[in-house]
Chain A
Amino acid sequence: MTPEEFKKIGETHQKKREAFKYNINVCTAAACVSLQSEKVKDELASQVKEQGKKESCRISGTGCLGLCASGPLVTINNGQALYGGVKPGDAADIVKSIDKKPVKRLEIPADMPFFARQTKIALEHCGNTDPEVLGDYLALEGYEALYNCLTTMQPVEVIDTMVKSGLRGRGGGGYPVGLKWSTVHKAVGTKKFVICNADEGDPGAFMDRSMLESDPHSIVEGMAIAGYAVGATHGYVYIRGEYPLAIKRLKAAIKQAERQGFLGKNICGTPFSFDVEIRLGAGAFVCGEETALIASIEGKRGTPRPRPPYPAQYGLWGFPTLINNVETFANISPIVRKGADYYASIGTERSKGTKVFALAGSINNTGLIEVPMGITLREIVFEIGGGIIGGKKFKAVQTGGPSGGCIPDEYLDMKVDYESLAQVGSIMGSGGMIVMDETSCMVDVAKYFMDFCRSESCGKCAPCRVGTAQMYNLLNLISEGKATMHDMELLEELCDVVRNTSLCGLGQTAANPVLSTIRFFRDEYLAHIKDKKCPAGVCVIEHKEEAVL
């Protein structure tokens, strides 16, 4: 394929889209599908036919538009009009008004802060392409980055671009991407692998799933570029079995890419060959940990092993293996296209670019957002998120899921980046962000996460297996008003032991939700222990009849 031929593919698809005066997009990502957006789409299509507007209107499905709580969402020409809470019965009015004033009762202002305050890079195509149509992706410069890497750049130059961009792994650890790629590139092996970690274990996070459902080709493209850079010929996507829609779309995308020669032998007519296979996870949080994930792909129980050796040296079947998160891969092609400098111009000193968050909990605008690093929590919660539901009082925001912590209101003006979050005892994590109001009890939240860690501990090492169970029991005693101050001390000691002696990240970080809630909400713990009261009224405390004097 010559560069001219390649350019032409994209232009043809672009023209096809532009031939329609009105592109009506219906969100067909999971949250909207669960609100019957497929029916809305069908109804819109039949209304277009009925009203004789087939020449001017094109109906497509599209990825997540972000504002999932107001679904099903429909947009016309990418934001010319944006409708929320659309029912199949609304289709007639939407089509009728297409060249007139928008339908007032359904309208969501497209300039609301929710949209205006975001910077979309990893999510650049979410909501404006049909995830099931390769042509849509190609029309928006899809696979151009891969093509350019293969035809104009050496692998080391691609790696250099990643180093310069400052991109860090988005799966939670924040390890520099360029450095990891370079290690795998230099590692010696007769074969090398690229793995995309789509196990998304944090219970309350849905970024990776949304990206796979909304723009699967960008992940495939990112993996192929990574393969070229590190010298791998084979890729795996390890994806949660509980994500049927994401699996289906990813499968379709891989097939389409193979057919068009963006995967397979001699990609785009170059010597580079790369294919991608899907492996289903089976519901074990610990399998998100890289060595456990590799064991699972090998068909075994997913238990972690000590590192080093790191997968970069000794990974899948003993071969050098690059493992990155879904969002990390989604950033690759935009960085190649827009340049490392552009990416590095966004963000803070040590955290470059943007981060995708799944915003949920007691917040008005639940959904999927992408913001520049360095934005404050206050901006996320009160501007983008639209504040707390029912005007209740903000209490804390939880990041990092079972490995993270709860951040109280005195830190709302803190900048969101890897370092600042770590300083307040939480972590960036993979992007789950749960907002809590005054009706949440922090002891109960700590207990919830410990229950999770206790049941997800793989049992390989004693500190985590026994420690998480013990910590859960102590938290349970506290929540029931049956604990003493001695139990509290014991809990804090245990946190320390489990953190320092566990084998993998699950155990090492399991204490974080407890430590951070003790640090910022000690009063609440004391109220349960000393006054036998749950200030938020969540925990059930049985009061023994006090003897009447």
Chain B
Amino acid sequence: MNEAASKDKRRKLVDATMRRYGHSQYALIETLHSVQEVYGFLDDENLKYVSDALRVPLSKIYGVATFYHFFTLKPQGDHTAVLCTGTACYIKGVPAILSAIRNNFSVEAGETREDGKLSLLTARCIGSCGLSPAIVLDGEIAGQITPEIVVDRIGRMIQNDA
């Protein structure tokens, strides 16, 4: 499949969401969910597209997109680590784990490393409190982590595709 065609296909998924809600302005958040799901983040081009399709001013769309933590306006790195900072994890040593990741991989929470290899995100309770402290590495949950374990796992994760 060439690039234009795949772009088309993704657009269609976004269109389907808007159609399901009759292109109502109320569908804005659902539509943004859909854009983020198929494109990975909310890019300018798509926001403009949604703005036209739903007849919602771009300024309002930015207002909504930046209000909700779930939405991201920047592309994610090749790999993602989502560290749980919920209460159960916090009291079991997340601050030390967070600084170990920051120091070892030079990436700040909520940001993507300059070389685009790693995004570090935080979440409030990923529902695995029984395994706290917990982290999600490329979609897989790792529980009962220590700074050493995490540094090792992330190191291997980003080296894999070198």
A interface residue numbers (CB < 8 A to B): 30-31, 34-35, 68-71, 201-206, 209-210, 241-243, 279-285, 296-302, 358, 360-362, 366-367, 398, 401, 432, 434, 436, 440, 445, 448, 452, 458
Residues of A within 8 A of B26 (CB): 297-299
**Can you list 24 residue pairs at the A/B interface with Cβ under 8 Å?**
A34-B143, A202-B87, A203-B86, A204-B88, A209-B127, A241-B70, A243-B127, A280-B29, A280-B33, A282-B29, A282-B70, A284-B69, A285-B124, A299-B26, A299-B64, A300-B28, A301-B67, A302-B67, A302-B68, A361-B129, A366-B130, A401-B87, A436-B91, A440-B91
From residue 32 to 82 of chain B, which have CB atoms closer than 8 A to chain A?
32-33, 63-64, 67-71
CA distance A468 to B33 in the complex (A): 30
Kindly state whether residue B11 has any CB partner on chain A within 8 Å.
Answer: no
Q: How far is the CB of B121 from chain A (nearest CB, A)?
A: 11
Residues of A within 8 A of B64 (CB): 299-301
CA distance A283 to B123 in the complex (A): 9
Cβ-closest 9 pairs across A and B? A204-B87, A282-B68, A203-B124, A69-B130, A283-B69, A283-B70, A34-B141, A360-B129, A68-B130
Q: Whose C-beta in chain B lies nearest to the C-beta of A452?
A: B124
CA distance A241 to B88 in the complex (A): 21
**Is A69 a contact partner of B125 (Cβ separation < 8 A)?**
no
Kindly state whether residue B151 has any CB partner on chain A within 8 Å.
Answer: no
CA distance A366 to B144 in the complex (A): 13
B interface residue numbers (CB < 8 A to A): 24-30, 32-33, 63-64, 67-71, 85-92, 123-132, 134, 141, 143
Residues of A within 8 A of B69 (CB): 282-284
CB < 8 Å: which of B24, B124, B131 contacts A69? B131
CB < 8 Å: which of B29, B89, B132 contacts A296? B29
**Is A206 a contact partner of B91 (Cβ separation < 8 A)?**
no
In the complex, besides A30-B127, A68-B128, A361-B88, 6 extra interface pairs with C-beta distance below 8 angstroms are A203-B85, A206-B125, A296-B29, A398-B87, A432-B87, A448-B87
Q: How far is the CB of A157 from chain B (nearest CB, A)?
A: 35
CB < 8 Å: which of A35, A205, A361, A398 contacts B131? A35
CB < 8 Å: which of B30, B87, B129 contacts A366? B129
**Is B125 a contact partner of A283 (Cβ separation < 8 A)?**
no
**Is B129 a contact partner of A206 (Cβ separation < 8 A)?**
yes
**Is B128 a contact partner of A279 (Cβ separation < 8 A)?**
no
Q: How far is the CB of B136 from chain A (nearest CB, A)?
A: 9
Residues of B within 8 A of A358 (CB): 129
CA distance A70 to B70 in the complex (A): 30
Q: How far is the CB of A172 from chain B (nearest CB, A)?
A: 15
Residues of B within 8 A of A68 (CB): 128-130
**Is B71 a contact partner of A282 (Cβ separation < 8 A)?**
yes
Q: Whose C-beta in chain B lies nearest to the C-beta of A69?
A: B130
CA distance A281 to B29 in the complex (A): 8
CA distance A300 to B132 in the complex (A): 34
Q: How far is the CB of B88 from chain A (nearest CB, A)?
A: 4
Residues of A within 8 A of B71 (CB): 282-283
Residues of A within 8 A of B123 (CB): 242
Residues of A within 8 A of B90 (CB): 204, 448
Residues of B within 8 A of A440 (CB): 91
**Is B132 a contact partner of A360 (Cβ separation < 8 A)?**
yes
Residues of A within 8 A of B125 (CB): 202-206
Q: Whose C-beta in chain B lies nearest to the C-beta of A300?
A: B64
**Is A301 a contact partner of B63 (Cβ separation < 8 A)?**
yes
**Is B129 a contact partner of A283 (Cβ separation < 8 A)?**
no
Q: How far is the CB of A299 from chain B (nearest CB, A)?
A: 4
Residues of A within 8 A of B126 (CB): 242
Residues of A within 8 A of B128 (CB): 30-31, 34, 68
Q: Whose C-beta in chain B lies nearest to the C-beta of A296?
A: B29
Q: Whose C-beta in chain B lies nearest to the C-beta of A449?
A: B87
